[in-house]
Structure 1
Amino acid sequence: MNYQTKQYDTIDIIFQAKFDSNFNPFTNLTFEAIIEKDGVFLQNSFGVYNGETDFLLRLSFCEAGLYTYKILSNLSDLDGQIGEISVIENNAKHGPLALNSNNKTKLYYKDGSPYQLYAFECDWLFAIDYHEKTNQLQQLIDYFSDNHVNQIIMNVYANNLRFGGEAWILDENMDPAHNLGDDESIFPFKGSNSNPDFTALNVDFFKHLDKVIRLLDDKNIISHLMIYVWNKQVNWPEAYSVLDDMYFDYVVKRYAAFSNIFWDVSKEALAYGKCDANYIIDRTLRLKKMDPYKRLITVHDYGFCKKYPDLVDVISIQTWALGIYEETRKLTALYPNKPVFNLEHGGYEEGQYQVFTGHYTNAKTCLKRNYEIMFAGAYSAYYWQPLSWCITVMPWLATPQPHFDYYKNMIDLFTTYDYSQLYPINKFGKFSGGGYLLANKENTLVLGYIPKENYCIGIGYIEHYKGIGTYCFFNTITGEYTQKTKLDGKQRKIISPFEDDTIIIIDMRE
């Protein structure tokens, strides 16, 4: 068979095969494809059972060209099948997430473009529109895209929150339709979460998850996919068992081809006594071995990342410190060769329902913490309580509405002034104070964060000033810029014109 697809897009090839009733297509199946480009071996890719007599081989390619596949399988109907795939260029996508050996603390796309991470956690995204086709899933992903969200932190599956424990709150006035937790009809295995049949997987569950991840991919949004989660009341198979491997392997084989996948082995990986570090090591190594596309990997547990940094591509941290800037500076200094991502900084923006408050709920306070993390050289994430977990209120229907606009302004700023080329500095000129500073390596572009409580930011005489340069202000709440003012190189106090937190942008680039 001959097929055509675009660079970075996925192509699903469906095969038909019969098998005996005593053959378990989830545990007994061998199904891989030898992939060659222009007659030269490229990789082995894996297929999965897709229900009834269907078998799915999902592929993607980072380069245009002519590819061939040959199937190796223990099912005679599959074994030996061959095909050809023509891949054309795709200028609408940048490819999967990648690291850059010349700029190791920043994230990039495969094509070399900088990736300005703006993540939102939406753990129950897999459950939206699972039963009813309300189009809310499409609308929500469109909403994320319109607000320039480019990463969703999400679970493959979660069951429920531990209401009444761990500070989770079930609002007694909540509309039950907004609670997607504890739905016994949604489960990745056969049976249900309360009465599981771990011997087989629920293919329909994964077909819906396909739709979710594909819709994200269509909008160039990364799926930060957490394969396991320990604090959402999921009934999992016994660790290391054949059935545990069956689930894990199936997820990797089915989703690795999506160019928008960013693997996270487990949410709260070591926090709840479900497993030890050896298990997470085993899963991480298994993932690396099975994923032919080598998507980036992290583990949602700083204790693990701290002890085994060489096993992950991105260091995940969770610090709620009041002095988040200073704490993040210390942590980023420990990892000069890896990006650092604060997945949870204790700020969970309030909404019409309380769900989990953390330490900070005010929208502007949460935003400030995100800026402080980024000015310390790391990446951060946004949480809004009525959507980040099983309570799912569509943002455009909420009262009050969340402040995705704040973060849209933030990521637009760091796209205009490329965050991948900005690094924390302690001072600018002979002295500086009253704010946090980012600068390019030439020290000709400097961004200074001025908290609203500060009267001004102090900038001393700039030794390398050459008579060329301007400064302007950026309002972190409205996204407004002031007109550019000529820089004279001798400013000592620069006063913000805004009442809210402000960023001064000093640009002396020629």
Structure 2
Amino acid sequence: MHPLIRSFGFLFSPMLLALLSGAMAVSAPPSCEQWGVFEVELEGPATGNPFLGVELSATFSHDDQSITAAGFYDGDGVYRVRFSPPSQGKWKYRSASNAVELDGKSGEFEATAPGAGNHGPVEVAHEFHFAYADGSPYKPIGTTCYAWTSQPESLQRQTLKTLSESPFNKLRMCVFPKRYTWNQNDPSLYAFEGTPPNQWDFSRYNPKFFQHLEKQIVELAKQGVQADLILLHPYDDGRWGFDRMSDDADDRYLRYVVSRLAAYRNVWWSLANEWDFMKHKQESDWDRMIQVVSDADPYRRLTSIHNGYILYNHNNPLLTHASIQNGSAAEEAGRAVLYRDAYRKPIVLDEVKYEGDIPLRWGNLSAEEMVHRFWEGTVAGCYVTHGECYLSDDDVLWWAKGGVLKGESPARIAFLRDVLLGSPASGLNPIDKWQAPNICGKPAEYYLVYFGTSQPKTWEFSLPRHELEDGMTFKAEVLDTWNMTTTPVDGEFHAKSHSQYEFKDAEGRSIDLPGKPYIALRITRADHE
């Protein structure tokens, strides 16, 4: 039996390719982009419980690289192994299974150059920041739509359209459906076989549910959006029982999800949203499950866990970054920066409360306050995630179901995104965090100064002395973060040592400011070659 080969949805059969090649004795091997998804499809046992009884993996080899990926059962006697080649060239593979029909199947394919828009998976870079695998900088501008894939198809299409027109390049989203205020509808598909709402066989998965989820992850990838997948959450309260599965069921589920989704380059793992609100689990359970995901994932995709009231120990080396819920931390850069010092890895303030008008304290920020928190988090060297909760007669709130964005913050967040795109690739960091927490950048090259809610009418040119030298020349621009305007400042500024802590302009110049809130300065070197 020949395995069937898939790459980006195209089906390749070696026998068919040989027939089509006419006089050619051997067909050319199939191909797949570097960091794309190459899939081996096999036919195997369909009786009994293949999810439990059949083990399948394949080892992919290229030069001195060897990566083993677990396979999974996809229903109707079909098994798949997905692989994302991290480098170009000829890859060979061989399957291993306890089922004779699946064992020892081999083949090869060519990993070609990545296509337009394919920069590879996102990885940690420069300690506190991120970059794509090809070295291109990635600066997360996230939003939250927890249960968007559990909504009617028309609403899911609308959500994707909205995202395509938004500034957001990361989406926090749940695998399981959510039951909460303004989100009471049941989904049409569930992850397990059984009878809704809570009679499930946790040892049998529903392939159609996961096929749909994969489809939406691919759609996000086409738009350049990272899918920050929340694997477990507490917004169930026994309705479906997905929040209180046994240890064995949890671990099997996690391994199954990873085997299906890890090959998609835009997937991140979030073990839980508000892990400490899942009262049927102990902290040690999360230690175990983080290890399960890490062991199952041959690519070690970005991994985090999100808190309610109790912070998880983000010093766990298996967590690539810290996902933090803390609205007050984003109110002042000096608070947010403490997380960097504690964990020494990227900090993503994934929940700083939501723009909206619901009668709950976590969901009624003004648009101005949401944008302000983005800027405070940015100058702290962290990253901030957006959310929106505006009441609607149809109960379609972006934070839970997606749909359309109604708030005023996304346009201003797009302005910040453009500022970030023009900032140093290595990321923005606090420069004198204890004395000047409102200044970040790259010393002697690039600075952002954010004045927040204060309303100065002038600012004396003054920079922390780190790496500065007398005579360095700078230019400045005034950024109105709410009105989204950029105003160049006339002339140049010549740095001169003023004290052991700071440099000022050699002529003592200051910059005139408009005397209103939410103003920033961008200061860049003018004398670089």
Cα distance change on mapping 1:256 and 1:427 into 2, 3 Å: closer
Residue 232 of structure 1: how far off its partner (Å): 3.9
Is 1:12 the counterpart of 2:17? The answer is: no
Cα distance change on mapping 1:438 and 1:390 into 2, 3 Å: closer
Matched residue SS, 1:472: strand
Is 1:157 the counterpart of 2:176? The answer is: yes
Cα distance in 2 for partners of 1:383, 1:451 equals 20
2:321 aligned residue:
314
The aligned amino acid for 1:81 is K
Cα distance in 1 for partners of 2:508, 2:521 equals 13
Cα distance in 1 for partners of 2:224, 2:67 equals 25
Is 1:121 the counterpart of 2:125? The answer is: no
Please say if residues 37 and 65 of structure 1, whose CA atoms lie closer than 8 Å, have aligned partners that are also in contact: yes
Cα distance change on mapping 1:41 and 1:370 into 2, 3 Å: closer
Q: In percent, how many aligned pairs have the same letter?
A: 22
1:223 aligned residue:
227
Cα distance change on mapping 1:350 and 1:461 into 2, 3 Å: closer
Cα distance change on mapping 1:211 and 1:457 into 2, 3 Å: farther
Matched residue SS, 1:77: helix
Is 1:42 the counterpart of 2:52? The answer is: no
1:268 aligned residue:
274
Deviation per residue, 1:314-338 (Å, 9 max, x gap)? 0122212274322112222223x31
Cα distance in 1 for partners of 2:131, 2:350 equals 18
Cα distance in 1 for partners of 2:162, 2:398 equals 15
1:494 aligned residue:
511
Q: How does 1:86-485 map to 2 (within 5 A)?
A: 86-91=110-115, 92-100=117-125, 103-129=126-152, 132=153, 134=154, 136-161=155-180, 163=181, 170=182, 181-183=184-186, 185-191=188-194, 192-233=196-237, 234-236=240-242, 239-301=245-307, 303-306=310-313, 308-321=315-328, 323-335=331-343, 337-346=344-353, 348-350=354-356, 354=358, 356-358=360-362, 360-386=364-390, 387-395=397-405, 400-418=406-424, 420-426=426-432, 436-441=438-443, 443-456=444-457, 458-460=459-461, 464=469, 466=471, 468-485=473-490
Matched residue SS, 2:317: helix
Cα distance change on mapping 1:476 and 1:275 into 2, 3 Å: same
Cα distance change on mapping 1:357 and 1:15 into 2, 3 Å: farther
Q: CA RMSD in A?
A: 2.6
Residue 127 of structure 1: how far off its partner (Å): 1.8
Please say if residues 431 and 442 of structure 2, whose CA atoms lie closer than 8 Å, have aligned partners that are also in contact: no
> Which stretch has the larger CA shift, 144-153 or 80-89?
144-153
- Gap runs ≥5 in structure 1: 164-169, 171-178
Residue 238 of structure 1: how far off its partner (Å): 5.2
Please say if residues 409 and 478 of structure 1, whose CA atoms lie closer than 8 Å, have aligned partners that are also in contact: no
Residue 279 of structure 1: how far off its partner (Å): 0.4
Cα distance change on mapping 1:261 and 1:382 into 2, 3 Å: same
Matched residue SS, 2:355: coil
Residue 499 of structure 1: how far off its partner (Å): 4.3
Cα distance in 2 for partners of 1:333, 1:491 equals 34
Matched residue SS, 2:149: helix
- In our comparison, the structure showing a higher alpha carbon Rg is 2
Cα distance in 2 for partners of 1:93, 1:26 equals 33
Cα distance change on mapping 1:275 and 1:472 into 2, 3 Å: same
Cα distance change on mapping 1:24 and 1:56 into 2, 3 Å: same
The aligned amino acid for 2:43 is Q
The aligned amino acid for 1:330 is L
2:3 aligned residue:
none
Cα distance in 2 for partners of 1:305, 1:269 equals 8
TM-score by length of 1: 0.85
Matched residue SS, 2:102: coil
**Equivalent in 35, 55, 68 of residue 30 of structure 1:** 55
Matched residue SS, 1:390: helix
Cα distance change on mapping 1:408 and 1:465 into 2, 3 Å: farther
- Gap runs ≥5 in structure 2: 1-13, 15-28, 391-396, 494-504
Residue 494 of structure 1: how far off its partner (Å): 2.4
Cα distance in 2 for partners of 1:29, 1:160 equals 34
Is 1:505 the counterpart of 2:528? The answer is: no
> Which stretch has the larger CA shift, 29-38 or 321-330?
321-330
Please say if residues 334 and 433 of structure 2, whose CA atoms lie closer than 8 Å, have aligned partners that are also in contact: no
Is 1:70 the counterpart of 2:94? The answer is: yes
Cα distance in 1 for partners of 2:453, 2:233 equals 38
The aligned amino acid for 1:259 is R
Matched residue SS, 2:413: helix
> Which stretch has the larger CA shift, 233-242 or 325-334?
233-242
Moved over 6 A (4+): none
Cα distance in 1 for partners of 2:204, 2:433 equals 59
Please say if residues 457 and 515 of structure 2, whose CA atoms lie closer than 8 Å, have aligned partners that are also in contact: no
Cα distance in 2 for partners of 1:94, 1:251 equals 24
Please say if residues 305 and 316 of structure 1, whose CA atoms lie closer than 8 Å, have aligned partners that are also in contact: no
Cα distance in 2 for partners of 1:29, 1:219 equals 36
Please say if residues 56 and 71 of structure 2, whose CA atoms lie closer than 8 Å, have aligned partners that are also in contact: yes
Deviation per residue, 1:406-431 (Å, 9 max, x gap)? 11111111111236332113389xxx
The aligned amino acid for 1:421 is G
The aligned amino acid for 1:315 is A
What count of residue pairs does the alignment treat as equivalent? 472
Cα distance in 2 for partners of 1:416, 1:117 equals 14
Cα distance change on mapping 1:13 and 1:478 into 2, 3 Å: farther
Please say if residues 356 and 365 of structure 2, whose CA atoms lie closer than 8 Å, have aligned partners that are also in contact: yes
The aligned amino acid for 2:519 is T
Cα distance in 1 for partners of 2:134, 2:461 equals 40
Residue 12 of structure 1: how far off its partner (Å): 3.1
Deviation per residue, 1:226-261 (Å, 9 max, x gap)? 111123445127555433322111101101111111
Please say if residues 142 and 219 of structure 1, whose CA atoms lie closer than 8 Å, have aligned partners that are also in contact: no
Cα distance change on mapping 1:24 and 1:339 into 2, 3 Å: same
Please say if residues 461 and 511 of structure 2, whose CA atoms lie closer than 8 Å, have aligned partners that are also in contact: no
Cα distance in 2 for partners of 1:485, 1:61 equals 51
TM-score by length of 2: 0.82
The aligned amino acid for 2:317 is D
Matched residue SS, 1:341: strand
The aligned amino acid for 2:167 is H
